[in-house]
Structure 1
Amino acid sequence: MPNIASILKAEISRVARKEVRTEIETLKKASVAYRSSIAELRRQLNALEKELRRLAKVAARTAAAPASDNEATAGTKRRFSAARLAAHRARLGLSAASYGQLVGVSGQTIYHWEQGKARPRAAQLESLAAVRDFGAREIAERLTTR
Structure 2
Amino acid sequence: MPNIASILKAEISRVARKEVRAEIETLKKASVAHRASIAELRRQVNALETELRRFSKAATRPATLPDSANEPAEGTKRRFSATRLAAQRSKLGLSATHYGQLVGVSGQTIYHWEQGKARPRAAQLESLARVRGFGAREVALRLST
**Superposition TM-score, scaled by structure 2 size:** 0.52
Q: Which residue of 1 aligns with 2:133?
A: 130
- Change in Cα spacing, 1:136 to 1:22, as seen in structure 2 (3 Å) is closer
Question: Structure 1 CA distance, aligned partners of 2:113 and 2:31?
Answer: 57
- Change in Cα spacing, 1:126 to 1:51, as seen in structure 2 (3 Å) is same
RMSD: 4.6
Secondary structure in 2 aligned to 1:135?
Answer: helix
Q: Which residue of 1 aligns with 2:69?
A: 74
The offset of 1:124, in angstroms, is 5.5
User: What is the one-letter code of the residue matched to 2:89?
Assistant: R
Structure (1 or 2) with the larger CA radius of gyration: 1
Structure 2: state its 5+ residue gaps. 1-7, 73-78
The offset of 1:34, in angstroms, is 0.6
Count of paired positions: 129
Secondary structure in 2 aligned to 1:46?
Answer: helix
User: Within 5 A, what are the aligned runs for 1:27-38?
Assistant: 27-38=23-34
Structure (1/2) with the larger helix percentage: 1
The offset of 1:25, in angstroms, is 3.5
The offset of 1:86, in angstroms, is 1.5
Q: Which residue of 2 aligns with 1:87?
A: 87
Contact 1:80-1:125 at 8 Å conserved across structures? no
Structure 1: state its 5+ residue gaps. 1-10
**Superposition TM-score, scaled by structure 1 size:** 0.52
Secondary structure in 2 aligned to 1:61?
Answer: helix
User: Within 5 A, what are the aligned runs for 1:17-28?
Assistant: 24-28=20-24
Question: Structure 2 CA distance, aligned partners of 1:59 and 1:108?
Answer: 43
